[in-house]
Amino acid sequence: MTNGQANKSGEIARRWWESLQPDRDAGRKGDAGALARLRRASLIEAMSEETVVRLHRALGLPRQQFPRAALVACVLSHARDHERRLSVARAGGQTGEENGVLSALRFRRLLTIRGEEDCAIAFRRLVALLGGKVNVADLGKSLLDWNDEERGDKCRTRWAFDYFDAGAAAPADAPDPQTETKPETETA
């Protein structure tokens, strides 16, 4: 995946997730059956779902990264609402001296998780702790980056700063998910 693709991957994942959600106002049925199967599926089972193949193609991932697309699909299937204002780490993080929804110990464990199967378990739990309300684009991009040799450390670093509400102090190479997903036609 090129850098340009990496910057758009969260938005692609969000649009994929949105296409599966029913929306009466937009006249969209969604695909409740696929969502239900993905919620129960292992990564191997998810790879046999046509919708995961579509996500993989949309993301432009190489064939050997198909398990990452399955990971994104399985975890995002648990999201109920898109919360665009906060990154996932910030939504679960600490506020001042108080623990957030995600305790500091659980967060430290999350930062050590590697491998698609272990990530599937940990991030499904995180989505459940957040009540299914997450920044879908941020979560999708993070899941794609988490196990990547080049982008994984940057992703986890950004999560650490966001968790402790210190995103403004994050290194320049740990991009803010809010600025990444804005259309290029907008000006700051």
pTM assigned to the model: 0.83
Q: Tell me, what's the pLDDT at 171? A: 65
Integer Cα distance of 28 and 20 in angstroms: 9
pLDDT in tens, the chain (188 residues): 444 444 599 999 999 999 999 877 777 788 999 999 999 999 999 999 999 999 999 999 999 999 999 999 999 999 999 988 889 999 998 776 667 788 889 999 999 999 999 999 999 999 999 999 999 999 999 999 999 999 999 999 999 999 988 766 656 654 545 444 444 444 43
The number of residues in the chain equals: 188
Domains present along the chain, CATH in parentheses: 3-180 (1.10.520.40)
Q: Tell me, what's the pLDDT at 178? A: 46
Q: Tell me, what's the pLDDT at 23? A: 79
- Report helix angle 66-76 to 32-40, nearest 10: 110
Q: Tell me, what's the pLDDT at 1? A: 47
Q: Tell me, what's the pLDDT at 169? A: 61
Q: Tell me, what's the pLDDT at 180? A: 47
